[in-house]
Structure 1
């Protein structure tokens, strides 16, 4: 097999890639139940030599391509769900569903993965092993990858001759508007942060606003807790193993002359190691409870666990960076100096098998990445010229992992 032809083959598939991307973009769906999107994916895979498993707990699709020679399995992942935003891009294929938009580029991921399945299927006899295409719902906070794993995603059956074909590597792409088209970036180790939600309910004793001495006012206590959480981060957390604690909502009271019974504080915790994640959880609970106690109130801290740290395996990250340099040229490939504090549920996959998430540039050369609307903006526009690069990278990573030269 000549790996040099894959770019041309990806370009030949560009019309299909664009058509599927725009079809999905027009009909975005949220969460783990994506029937319209799944039907579009299945239609795009028709006629390919794939063993397809439809997951039951979600709309996940696992499609397995078995090569002509025995070998291990490599997993390629594309997520499919959208965000609850009202699109304002003005694109010809803008969302037709009110309040829902593919603002994170998952429509491009799905389309690129489908075209990669077509490309690799054309080389089925030359593949030593298997490729597992993971079309995943529910990435935007709904733990779709976790559900697919629990349903047996990695339980790949033996080959026909009884030879085992375990999943030995995983690769995912994520398009981003902060990198120009034609460039990619990743790093070994922590690549993206964990993301947990916290809620602190401060219980006081309400009363008339003119007589605060007859009450236990939870509002200033809540304010003190917010300030103390920031002090906690700067004084209790190692700056070289950082954390971000952000309060996004404070709510209390009903009108100007009533001291409320309860004040609520809600926010997010981001860390890049599981050790610091646990430490922040412990510190937050103690700070909130003890400050409230000092003022005669009580606090109920609740932490809702989100995604773990997305940690790329060092050797696999080096492999993906080297592969990308061969494909794109060294000037288009960058090793990230620091993790990104966003979160990803591909972290669940990387907790099970070695792999890498790589960021794919998605802003056209005519636009300035410094001012281009970011992922999760209802104005974000991703350059479709980036997609052949993504299709080729999916194929290159799979084939090189399986030993093709």
Structure 2
């Protein structure tokens, strides 16, 4: 049987695990109920399990029976989002205000399916496969913590890092069963921005007796957009969005402060560093020109997700061979969302891919995408995702990449 046929035979168990996790979502770095469901679903497999002290992250290692060789990592994230669910599904979230709206339940289910497929042929595999079940992807830096805990190996730990790493992320409004990817930057770095403009408040009828921070805050918002458009190249994109403005307590009171909150997205380390250095100077200068002050706080988020070109070529070959010649789509542009698999790809050559899970025959752009309270997926695609992950592992262990970082540890 082909991997695709074997995965189809596992469809019921893949979907069942997905639905169990979907109905019982958890947020953040500690997802013990999700971890326990994974362990129970894979308890019959010859996996060696490890956990670290910082999270409920879980790594299961499958050692091939055909001797030493390469090591490949496959990753699936486990955590949900703090938002309500409005899908009306029979297996909708039973946890108020928490929903698997980014597909992490499907990622876990596909990775568990891949583990079953690979365990069935373990005797013929040379090397090992590590299955990384990661919490805390939604802004909690779960991958970084798992790396720091040594769960993936590396300098100072008892084993080297894997030789290659892959992850798969569903897209509900992308073509049914199509895998997408691109070499280089796939997703942006994301940092949180907070600017506090401080003046002197007073009565709204007498602004001349105050130092009103609100118009200065508005001026800063406009100046940020001018800076992005006129000082950064359009060929190395930067996006700064001020999404929240807070000031005042009543209609007739001028506040002492105005607070701007937003996000900074960049596709290169150079622009990320430059934006962090120049934006505070801009805000402080505008405020000072009006006799006020501006304090800028930048909370560092995930780095740029950069995919190895050889790994993307390799993934394209696997997708076309397993799922059909039309099953791979080269993405022309990066996505300005962020992903903490970036931490893994900073240390290990590899790639992240997207899998379209819209209903077969549907329009590409349909309601609703990720992070929507109404997001749903076509579960019939999940076995294909499991087969693709397993195919990446088996072929990498056998062949490595065509060139580049393809040698064992």
> For residue 120 of structure 1, what is the aligned residue in structure 2?
118
Find out whether 1:206 has 2:204 as its counterpart.
no
Whether contact under 8 Å (1:72, 1:165) holds in the other structure is no
Q: 3-state SS of the aligned residue for 2:69?
A: strand
Whether contact under 8 Å (1:129, 1:165) holds in the other structure is no
Find out whether 1:373 has 2:371 as its counterpart.
no
Q: 3-state SS of the aligned residue for 1:315?
A: helix
Q: For 1:337, which of 317, 332, 337 is the aligned residue?
A: 332
Deviations along 1:336-387, whole A, 9 cap, x unmatched? Answer: 0010001000000000100100000111125322122010001010110110
> For residue 141 of structure 1, what is the aligned residue in structure 2?
139
Q: For 1:44, which of 41, 44, 48 is the aligned residue?
A: 41
CA-CA distance at 1:267 after TM superposition: 0.2
> For residue 55 of structure 2, what is the aligned residue in structure 1?
58
Between 322-331 and 250-259, report the one with greater CA deviation: 322-331
CA-CA distance at 1:293 after TM superposition: 0.4
> For residue 287 of structure 1, what is the aligned residue in structure 2?
282
CA-CA distance at 1:281 after TM superposition: 1.4
Q: For 2:24, which of 22, 27, 52 is the aligned residue?
A: 27
Cα distance between partner residues in 2 of 1:400 and 1:338: 27
Cα distance between partner residues in 1 of 2:385 and 2:136: 21
Q: 3-state SS of the aligned residue for 1:256?
A: coil
Q: Structure 1 residues 325 and 213 mapped into 2: Cα distance closer, same or farther (>3 Å)?
A: same
Find out whether 1:227 has 2:222 as its counterpart.
yes
Give TM-score, length-normalised by structure 1. Answer: 0.96
Deviations along 1:80-132, whole A, 9 cap, x unmatched? Answer: 00011111111111111110100000000001111111110111110110000
Q: Structure 1 residues 165 and 292 mapped into 2: Cα distance closer, same or farther (>3 Å)?
A: closer
Cα distance between partner residues in 2 of 1:150 and 1:166: 12
Alignment of 1:345-360 (within 5 A): 345-360=340-355
> For residue 407 of structure 2, what is the aligned residue in structure 1?
none
Find out whether 1:101 has 2:99 as its counterpart.
yes
Cα distance between partner residues in 1 of 2:212 and 2:232: 30
Cα distance between partner residues in 2 of 1:308 and 1:85: 25
| More strand per residue | 1
Deviations along 1:185-227, whole A, 9 cap, x unmatched? Answer: 0000000001100000000011111111111100000000000
CA-CA distance at 1:313 after TM superposition: 0.8
CA-CA distance at 1:165 after TM superposition: 6.8
> For residue 192 of structure 2, what is the aligned residue in structure 1?
197
Find out whether 1:322 has 2:328 as its counterpart.
no
Moved over 6 A (4+): none
Alignment of 1:244-283 (within 5 A): 244-283=239-278
Runs of at least 5 residues in structure 2 that lack an aligned partner in the other structure: 401-409
Q: Structure 1 residues 108 and 228 mapped into 2: Cα distance closer, same or farther (>3 Å)?
A: same
Deviations along 1:24-43, whole A, 9 cap, x unmatched? Answer: 00000000111110110110
Whether contact under 8 Å (2:51, 2:151) holds in the other structure is no
Q: 3-state SS of the aligned residue for 2:68?
A: strand
Aligned length: 397
Find out whether 1:401 has 2:399 as its counterpart.
no
Cα distance between partner residues in 1 of 2:323 and 2:381: 12
Whether contact under 8 Å (2:153, 2:160) holds in the other structure is no
Cα distance between partner residues in 2 of 1:307 and 1:389: 29
> For residue 90 of structure 1, what is the aligned residue in structure 2?
88
Runs of at least 5 residues in structure 1 that lack an aligned partner in the other structure: none
Q: 3-state SS of the aligned residue for 1:213?
A: helix
Cα distance between partner residues in 1 of 2:230 and 2:277: 14
Q: 3-state SS of the aligned residue for 1:369?
A: coil
Cα distance between partner residues in 2 of 1:156 and 1:9: 34
Cα distance between partner residues in 1 of 2:273 and 2:231: 13
Q: 3-state SS of the aligned residue for 1:403?
A: helix
Cα distance between partner residues in 1 of 2:399 and 2:62: 16
CA-CA distance at 1:404 after TM superposition: 6.0
Q: 3-state SS of the aligned residue for 2:163?
A: strand
Q: Alignment RMSD, CA only?
A: 1.5
Q: 3-state SS of the aligned residue for 1:145?
A: helix
Deviations along 1:153-206, whole A, 9 cap, x unmatched? Answer: 22289xxxx9x8751000000000121221110000000001100000000011
